[in-house]
Amino acid sequence: MNEMGSVATMMDELGRAARLAASQIAYAPSDAKRKALDVAADEIERQAPEILAANARDMEFGRDKGLSAAMLDRLMLDEKRISGIAAGLRAVAAQPDPVGQVMAEWDRPSGLHIRRVRTPIGVVGVIYESRPNVTADAGALCLKSGNAVILRGGSESFHSSRAIHACLQAGLAEAGLPETAIQLVPTRDRAAVEAMLRAVDHIDVIIPRGGKGLVGLVQREARVPVFAHLEGICHVYVDRDADPEKARRVVLNAKTRRPGICGAAECLLVHRDVAETLGQQIVDDLMAAGVEVRAQGLRGTRPAQPDDFGREFLDMIIAARVVDDVDDAIAHIRRYGSQHTESIVTENEATAERFFSRLDSAILMRNASTQFADGGEFGMGAEIGIATGKLHARGPVGAEQLTSFKYIVLGDGTIRP
Amino acid sequence: MNEMGSVATMMDELGRAARLAASQIAYAPSDAKRKALDVAADEIERQAPEILAANARDMEFGRDKGLSAAMLDRLMLDEKRISGIAAGLRAVAAQPDPVGQVMAEWDRPSGLHIRRVRTPIGVVGVIYESRPNVTADAGALCLKSGNAVILRGGSESFHSSRAIHACLQAGLAEAGLPETAIQLVPTRDRAAVEAMLRAVDHIDVIIPRGGKGLVGLVQREARVPVFAHLEGICHVYVDRDADPEKARRVVLNAKTRRPGICGAAECLLVHRDVAETLGQQIVDDLMAAGVEVRAQGLRGTRPAQPDDFGREFLDMIIAARVVDDVDDAIAHIRRYGSQHTESIVTENEATAERFFSRLDSAILMRNASTQFADGGEFGMGAEIGIATGKLHARGPVGAEQLTSFKYIVLGDGTIRP
């Protein structure tokens, strides 16, 4: 424990400092924010040896703790990943500043001119697990959007996150911005997470980044609003009118490119008219690529069990099922989906339209791999996470969706009759 | 109590029905929604005698209950107000359908074409007090935006709301839409309100319409997200560079046009350089119009007490204070304001810009009366309420802000490298 006293007191002080910083950073000049991020990127490269040394300590701690190989891989930094972090900071720096952007403007018969302009949300809380790069990505996106941020990294990435955070602070100082705009919780104590979830006075929105355990905890316990997705149970529906080559290519990529990300396909649905031909071909492709196919109505590695549907495998496993038609596919997705990303493979315009209008996932695709569900691929430069809720932010969340808006109303001594 | 059993069971059934209706109404054709609202407007006019009879019962109940004259006035319907309700329904019917509107679209180097399109939120809960017209306004805006709605009117307006609701249902039936898209809680039991506040599975957002008591209760107790404003503590700042005529006109209108609405000015701030001249003139104008001015640094009806600042009078009373400059005005508003609406009177561009960038109320005005804080005056056709929160909806909330969005991503067998 540190000298400030209890974790609750410390978090309260962090919260107050964030609220104060938010009121200043909200109208910080675009140039200053850009400079802070560019300087931070330079610092990341300059301090690469220190960051790698800090990461080595975390890796040792992680191995002692018995982290899985996948977890250790997320935690690990090397020269290439450090370059990637610096490049990410520069990419966010180069983006247009969303704050002050005019979203719409119009005149009224009363003589008033009304403008809706983007304004920061205030204070963002980010709670994440082992990936140290989230420190840089989340810090950069919050700064770009004029928000103060409180970062709470995983205990495994404690030293790496601190080293990266120091670079962000150097950037803020160099640009003359308050260093409290980007704060990192300086303790591994889990009480800090609980304090953040209840900090309705100090934090405006919380974004959890991590596994289902963390996200579920945050969604259940938070009194502060949350932008998140609990699971990415993504479906690919191969329609009767699918182009066979496109279907084979898309399904294979959607499952196997990186099976562990939230945009990976977890369930294949095939129209019964093409099940024995194209459907079986796709299943065979998947099996040939090393995927375990749990199939219903198709020949797979093993028969699907009821609980294989609606399941996020995050692995080289996929559930597969034959459906009667697009409506049956829609009904399946409504029942088992997680409102993240679904793709239809079809050449039929009307069928695609039906799929798009009757489903309401954050991302709906046609003839494209679900692996594209990503802020970078959407052109947002970076993402702080992907949201499946319907209020405020949805899909990949970039700097723009970290803003709110206000109305500027211009009159000339105008009064209301 | 009705035959469905407990209020909790009844609310659960209402919620399930709303969720089901929401999934259908979400893709209802624009024409059907428009027809439902036009037919409802016709029904309102045709059934005016029944609505007036129902309202007479409510008025009797209200008088027996000892409601204030202001409350009784809000409750009261007459031929003219009924025409107004019908006109409001037709105005919403004539608005463009927000659902399916393309908010933005762009191409990516990967070959993907991405569209962000509006989609309904789902189920809206509206909890209101005595104004029976909210039944029609809220029902219409939710239907227009493709949402199902659960309306819980005040016990005082019970019969009036039921009569109006019957007209909405007639419109839905005539248009072939599910009548459960607009449900009115059929009991005066307050347990229904508590059930709505906890109905996270059935209601996506709650909008309270009423006094501070109701809104505060909803904000404190709701587990469902809330769009609301607790108070409208609106400020008018008269700058050193104000045009005297504009300043006098704007302040008088902002306070006296309708002192009981949330956009009425509650506090006047005057730059010290013009306090004794223009400032005193404005105070004298207000007093001549019958306003009690509680002044600090100006001669008013009586000296201001500390608790007169940050107070929502909703009456012919205003607090007034001399400030050093625009920064002092900004500091005062940050301390005492409620993030609703503030206006600056100045001819100085730079001063106005400073006021706009350093304050973050939902509505910021220049040389205009705060009484314009209204969805109708903003050109939204109607409003379901005014929100001061920063997530999702802000300022006057019309049909557009009752929508969320989803991404439609078009490829051609596109896979991610």
* A366/B249 touch (CB, cutoff 8 Å), yes or no: no
Looking at the domain assignment, is residue B105 inside a domain?
A: yes
* A391/B378 touch (CB, cutoff 8 Å), yes or no: no
Q: How confident is the model at residue B381 (pLDDT cuts 50, 70, 90)?
A: confident
Domain at B357, CATH number: 3.40.309.10
* A365/B409 touch (CB, cutoff 8 Å), yes or no: yes
What does pLDDT average to over chain B?
95
A264 and A199 inside one domain: no
* Nearest chain B CA: its distance from A334 CA (Å): 10
* A371/B415 touch (CB, cutoff 8 Å), yes or no: yes
Among the partner residues A254, A392, A411, nearest to B367 by beta-carbon distance: A411
The last residue of one of the domains, among A211, A228, A245, is A228
Question: Which run of H or E residues covers position B385?
Answer: strand B385-387
B194 and B80 inside one domain: yes
Percent of chain B with pLDDT over 70: 99
Check residue A356 and give its pLDDT. 97
Among the partner residues A257, A363, A394, nearest to B416 by beta-carbon distance: A257
Check residue A161 and give its pLDDT. 97
Chain A CB contacts of B122 under 8 Å are 390
A127 and A238 inside one domain: no
Distance CA B401, CA B399 (A): 6
Inter-chain CB pairs, A–B, below 8 Å: 192
| Average pLDDT for B208-226 | 93
Q: How confident is the model at residue B71 (pLDDT cuts 50, 70, 90)?
A: confident
Domain at A202, CATH number: 3.40.605.10
* Nearest chain A CA: its distance from B79 CA (Å): 22
Structurally, chain B folds into a number of domains equal to: 2
What does pLDDT average to over chain A?
95
B298 and B183 inside one domain: no
CA distances B107 to A101, A238, A378, B110, Å, are: 21, 24, 9, 8
Distance CA A219, CA A378 (A): 26
- Under DSSP, the state recorded for B103 is E
Nearest C-alpha neighbor of B119 from the set A338, A240, A360: A360
Check residue B172 and give its pLDDT. 98
* A416/B365 touch (CB, cutoff 8 Å), yes or no: no
Residue type, A238: V
- pLDDT over 60 (residue A121): yes
A168 and A119 inside one domain: yes
Which pair of structure tokens corresponds to residue B132? Answer: 């029976």
Check residue A1 and give its pLDDT. 43
Which pair of structure tokens corresponds to residue B380? Answer: 């939204």
Check residue B68 and give its pLDDT. 86
Looking at the domain assignment, is residue A377 inside a domain?
A: no
pLDDT digits (tens, 9 = 90+) for B281-294: 999 999 999 999 99
DSSP A279-290: IHHHHHHHHHTT
Mutation target vs B (from A407, A410, A412; most B CBs, 10 A cutoff): A407
- pLDDT over 90 (residue B328): yes
Chain A CB contacts of B121 under 8 Å are 390-391
The residues in A 106-165 lying below 8 A from B, measured between CB atoms, are 106, 108, 110, 112, 114, 119, 121-122
Q: Which residue has the tokens 């040389």?
A: B367
Please count the residues of chain B. Answer: 417
CA distances B94 to A214, B122, B149, B408, Å, are: 46, 22, 20, 27
Burial of B146 (0-12, 13-18, 19+ CB in 10 A): buried
- pLDDT over 50 (residue B3): no
* Nearest chain A CA: its distance from B188 CA (Å): 29
| Average pLDDT for A282-309 | 96
pLDDT digits (tens, 9 = 90+) for B340-355: 999 999 999 999 999 9
Chain A CB contacts of B369 under 8 Å are 411, 414-416
* B366/A405 touch (CB, cutoff 8 Å), yes or no: no
* A249/B413 touch (CB, cutoff 8 Å), yes or no: yes
| Average pLDDT for B219-243 | 95
Check residue A196 and give its pLDDT. 96
B261 and B280 inside one domain: yes
Q: Which residue has the tokens 């309904």?
A: B120
Residue pair B169/B182 in contact by the 8 Å Cβ criterion: yes
Looking at the domain assignment, is residue A122 inside a domain?
A: yes
A39 and A141 inside one domain: yes
pLDDT digits (tens, 9 = 90+) for B295-304: 999 999 999 9
A206 and A354 inside one domain: no
- pLDDT over 60 (residue B361): yes
Looking at the domain assignment, is residue B381 inside a domain?
A: no
Check residue A70 and give its pLDDT. 81
Residue pair B112/B410 in contact by the 8 Å Cβ criterion: yes
- pLDDT over 80 (residue A2): no
The last residue of one of the domains, among A201, A228, A255, is A228
The residues in B 299-338 lying below 8 A from A, measured between CB atoms, are 334
Percent of chain B with pLDDT over 90: 93
A261 and A368 inside one domain: yes
Distance CA A369, CA A342 (A): 9
Looking at the domain assignment, is residue B61 inside a domain?
A: yes
pLDDT digits (tens, 9 = 90+) for A46-75: 999 999 999 999 999 999 999 888 889 889
Which pair of structure tokens corresponds to residue A409? Answer: 């109303």
The residues in A 344-373 lying below 8 A from B, measured between CB atoms, are 356-358, 360-369, 371-372
Chain B CB contacts of A391 under 8 Å are 121, 204-205, 225, 391-392, 404
Looking at the domain assignment, is residue A394 inside a domain?
A: no
pLDDT digits (tens, 9 = 90+) for A62-117: 999 998 888 898 899 999 999 999 999 999 999 999 999 999 999 999 999 999 99
Residue pair A325/A241 in contact by the 8 Å Cβ criterion: no
Looking at the domain assignment, is residue A410 inside a domain?
A: no
Which pair of structure tokens corresponds to residue B343? Answer: 């206006």
- Under DSSP, the state recorded for B274 is G
Distance CA A313, CA A311 (A): 6
| Average pLDDT for A269-275 | 98
Check residue A68 and give its pLDDT. 86
Looking at the domain assignment, is residue B87 inside a domain?
A: yes
A220 close to B (CB below 8 A):
no
B414 close to A (CB below 8 A):
yes
| Average pLDDT for B198-224 | 93
A77 and A121 inside one domain: yes
Domain that holds residue A25: 7-228
The residues in B 18-37 lying below 8 A from A, measured between CB atoms, are 23, 26-27
B358 and B405 inside one domain: no
- pLDDT over 60 (residue B2): no
Q: How confident is the model at residue B5 (pLDDT cuts 50, 70, 90)?
A: low
| Average pLDDT for A280-305 | 96
Check residue A5 and give its pLDDT. 58
B318 and B301 inside one domain: yes
Among the partner residues A27, A361, A408, nearest to B364 by beta-carbon distance: A408
Which pair of structure tokens corresponds to residue B398? Answer: 């019309």
